[in-house]
Chains A and B, each alone.
Chain A
């Protein structure tokens, strides 16, 4: 009887999702987060979950954990002093960045100051050229001097980033070796290990972020591992990465920057799992929380990956789930801009004071207040009645806006939600149309506390006809952690033309990457039947300066036979280019700049022994109340409890389905069907 537990630590709650790989039984749990020591909530929540469902802690095989410790440290800049050793002549690179300012017209706003102060950026006389040939070798004396300077800064971590180290890491490795001898107490991050790809600023930034997070993550994991070992001694700990896969605690100590964007990644992976369970191949996710909404694309049950993201204003160039965030959530505030247009967010009332209806002192009109005014949210409140909502406070908050517009309160609230939906739609367009996809070919999957409330209008604006609301929309992230694979990404950064000779270089690179992947599989004890490799090249037309990730092949093992001929590869590139940019130039030469191999080992075993009693009885509503589905009039609407619903049951709109932390409206004419896994499939009325 082995249990796997996914634990997602959020700002307010720590969520648990436990599954048994033999019985197929699943349990969910929620406990308040403990921001000063997040491990505490994990351990107490785990104990509570085990005692509630009579799980023996010794039966927990795996604990998969998503942490925002790194992300928060970057946002709050709570780390210690970090030093940097870089190529002579380039210590200001980290501060110059791409020489741009963050806002075109704002004379006061700057990019954040670098995480390494100028006096702690130490230059070393060394140089590689673009081919990775040594131009200037560093002298032992100069290296030792540089290290002395690092030690003098009092830094607990040091980044080493040299030009062209992605082509030849010898100088970085040499410095690291001397450093380990002379100053073993300082944690090291090498640009050639953290992100061996060209573009020195982005690589350097990523490496510095990694160094900054090393001491913090190391401390945190120590506490967590000790606690887990004491409590669930058989559990293997896995840490979630921004790319949507797990890594070992040891790997996360070395590469903590890989957790920096992992928060939304788990949600996307969980959504992909729901996509498989509902057999919906192409999904747009909409995860709406209190202050923001995350949007991601799932194609063919796979989550899209991007390579250029940033956190707290610093660029990170690592494979990350392609999640776009928009400042629109339940707490987003309605306001008039100077030209009189009504805006929603990005300012949010957050959890405290929160929306006006919480009665905690907030008096600003928020998204949640609008939903309450329209009857879409119950005045009994969230969390199944734990906390009542005061509609009179919402009314008072919206009254000034309604007066200004000369609208009824309901029309005002409806309009405010419309503006918020427009913001979400714009973001979804950015990540779909811009990537060459038509949103109409996708199914919308709303989750998070506030996702299902707004999804219907978003779907209609995008021409989407169907929605999937997961069984437990509030803990999709924890579910994602549970089903995540172990994952590692390898890259060889080399620029070569895609011709016959280029195919040979590509095969050589694949061989090198295969060896690294094999080593990793062995280290992680990944059984052969759970392994998967994906070969991707970053390619572009010669002369272009922006590369496109082109998937070449995916299989448990890959050899040169899977690579294909130069002509075949060229054709694959052109098709990908056509999809992404709307045109291809079949006669133009193509070059490859990076060769990537993504290795994953499947950990989760899907078990379909779920209670699956199709029910032919119509569900009984718990209540009725008037609800405004449009701005005009309220209709009497049946209120269902999600926990009453059984598989195969159908609910025709108008209806409201309430559960622990989410409310799902079913609009008049729409139809919701409960699946075997208790997900809801909502088909939107044609002509809506």
Chain B
């Protein structure tokens, strides 16, 4: 065509592309085996142009995956230049060589051809329940090299011109626990790619290739303009903020994350200079993941309906020296990168609070509290693996309390129903609820952390976990108080004691009890301005104890809300 697409035609084509991504998302969710994907929706879909730029993501895509697609694509295009054919499917997971963010996320990319020419890729990412390595679930702490975290997959062709490379699949499956299930997950990812490619060709048929490709560029450039105009609304200046990670589980503690955020007109630069060197434990991240987290925070604060595509990524300049915690290099372990990503979001909000105080929230649970139980099911004699991440408090907002017990930041995965856990695993859930007094006091209070109490039924099992904000509590803003920290506990014949914050391979005997407590969140504004009705609600619901209320809000007269 050559002429510029009008805003109506563009919307109609963009809608068709979003429709493809959404269909592929549901198809992958419904046909996979991993509970991570099925119940927790820990997966993503994207359409990428032939240069590897992200054009459209499925509506429910996890923010953490936004940059990973691009990372994979750069590696595919570099490595296979001139060798990309119809019917090929690429897979990869390695963070250091293949654009991944951690090993359990397996990335798929299928090129789409039109009249023999490469026109786009359809990609998906899914978090497999296991990718091998030292520990079931491939997510626990206690490892110092990426080799220990599981099977590293460079960018390889799993399909060559429509033909499955069975020997590659054999390698993938031999290296993981419960291979039958993982095979099901791979099949689901493959089917999702093929569906996307088929639908994409239908869209080309209707709208013509030229218009579709022009729409690609328009979607990204218009999003970039939208992002720039949102940034221009932030007062110019340099805003600094820093926070500390508790530790890496390998002896390094009090790990600084430092940010100097500069806005000048419609330009924004996030400079993480001053952040710790990369650490021995697995909370390191790759630059991709930091990019995704920073963009998440900016979109959330500035314009939450912003389309998530390359246009956003291109506008945000990130400075992060290689070899640091947030831009780690080989052989850094990265499995628990989500903890650091969550902290990056808190830090970005912290910096922005000095510029646009009404648009940000106080520190959230800032973690991705992970609990993994494994053992042999006494009912079947078969090994099992139960993996879950637990939500916590959401930071208080300028006009209302933070939500209690909810996923925040880059993750929004569901919990597993107690009745699923107990039917499928020899585990009993004894308690699941809010932790009293865990939301930081404030004019608006922080959200509450969650407590889950579990015990193995008729057998011994092994517990692995990873927590953050177990020592550095989620901070409040503008006089709001810090929220409660999290912890892991065990109750055995010796009584109750606290476990490490990133415990590895804890033996849990019959009748022992594991207690997982996730962090709450920080409050917003001075507690003495909290409305009487809200305090009364805190008291009546028993979410807060009388002594907490006494301590933070006193008994003085106060205004009613509004």
Contact = CB atoms under 8 A, between A and B. Distances in A.
Interface of A: 88-93, 95-96, 98-101, 103-108, 110, 117-119, 129-130, 135, 163-164, 166, 198-202, 336-343, 405, 407, 415-416, 418-419, 422-423, 425-426, 429-430, 433-434, 461, 495, 541, 543-546, 577, 580-583, 585, 588
Contacts of B30: 546, 580-581
B431 interface: yes
Contacts of B60: 104
A232 to B, nearest CB: 46
Residue among B15, B188, B223 with the most chain A CB within 10 A?
B15
Contacts of B453: 89
Contacts of B222: 339-341
Which 3 A-B residue pairs are closest in the complex by CB-CB distance?
A89-B431, A415-B8, A92-B433
B420 A422 contact: no
B199 interface: yes
Which of A337, A544, A583 has the most chain B CB within a 10 Å cutoff? A544
A202 to B, nearest CB: 8
Contacts of B12: 418-419, 422
Contacts of A166: 419
Contact of B419 (A92, A110, A130): A130
Contacts of A434: 23, 26-27
Contacts of A96: 391, 404-406, 415, 432-434, 450
B505 interface: no
Given A130-B422, A541-B184, A545-B420, 7 more contacts: A89-B431, A92-B432, A99-B406, A105-B308, A118-B541, A545-B35, A581-B188
B18 interface: yes
Interface residues of B, number: 92
B542 interface: yes
A163 B178 CA distance: 29
Q: Which of B16, B391, B397, B423 has the most CB of A within 10 A?
A: B423
B264 interface: no
Contact of B38 (A92, A341, A422, A545): A545
Contacts of B361: 107
Nearest to A589: B180
Contact of B423 (A99, A130, A339, A426): A130
Interface string B16-31: 1011001100110111
Interface in B298-316: 299-301, 303-308
Contact of B191 (A117, A129, A339, A581): A581
Nearest to A545: B38
Interface string B57-79: 00011110000000000000000
A118 B413 CA distance: 24
A20 B10 CA distance: 52
A585 B187 contact: yes
Contacts, number: 216
A369 B92 CA distance: 52
B174 interface: no
A435 to B, nearest CB: 10
A341 B191 contact: no
B179 to A, nearest CB: 11
B140 to A, nearest CB: 21
B229 A100 contact: no
B348 interface: no
Contact of B10 (A341, A407, A430): A341
A285 B328 CA distance: 54
Contact of B180 (A98, A407, A543, A582): A543
Nearest to B308: A105
A118 B542 contact: yes
7 contacts: A100-B414, A200-B418, A343-B11, A429-B19, A543-B184, A546-B29, A582-B195
Contacts of A103: 304
Interface string B159-198: 0000000000000000000101100100110010011000
A588 B379 CA distance: 20
Contacts of B11: 341-343, 419, 422
Nearest to A202: B417
A336 B222 CA distance: 13
B407 interface: yes
Given A92-B434, A415-B6, A101 B304 contact: no
B216 interface: no
B39 to A, nearest CB: 5
Contacts of B32: 544
Contact of A339 (B18, B61, B225, B391): B225
Interface string B22-58: 1100110111110100110000000000000000000
